[in-house]
Amino acid sequence: MPFPHFDKLVHFGLWAAFATLVISESNALRRHGDVTRVALRHGLIVGAALGLLVELIQGTTWIGRSSSALDWLADLAGVLAAIACYRWLNRMLRGMV
């Protein structure tokens, strides 16, 4: 890894991208450059739940990966960043996101 805890940055980025896609798919106002609260809620619930599920599965299976609460917190931070930035990103890309 290039520096300590680089994997947390990767978790953050992947979950931010995932949550952005979930929000966009759920967003009925996407083409108008706005966002519904329902879409933001979907992004939060799906992103946080999937991140937690992945960590739980990693900790309970034989695949040779370990579970980490810090990884899940990095996932959650990425989801929250996506929620915070979605309106701006959607407007910048003119309803494409």
Residue 61: is it exposed, middle or buried by C-beta count within 10 angstroms (0-12/13-18/19+)?
exposed
State the Cα–Cα distance between residues 93 and 63, nearest whole angstrom: 39
**pLDDT bracket for residue 22 (50, 70, 90):** very high
pLDDT digits 0-9 by tens, 36-70 = 999 999 999 999 999 999 999 988 887 778 889 99
Q: Average per-residue pLDDT in the chain?
A: 90
Rounded to two decimals, the pTM is 0.87
pLDDT at residue number 67: 87
State the Cα–Cα distance between residues 68 and 45, nearest whole angstrom: 19
Q: Note whether 74 and 19 are within 8 A (CB).
A: no
Element (H, E) at 1: none
Of 74 and 87, the structure prediction assigns the larger pLDDT to 74
Task: Please state the length of the chain.
Answer: 97
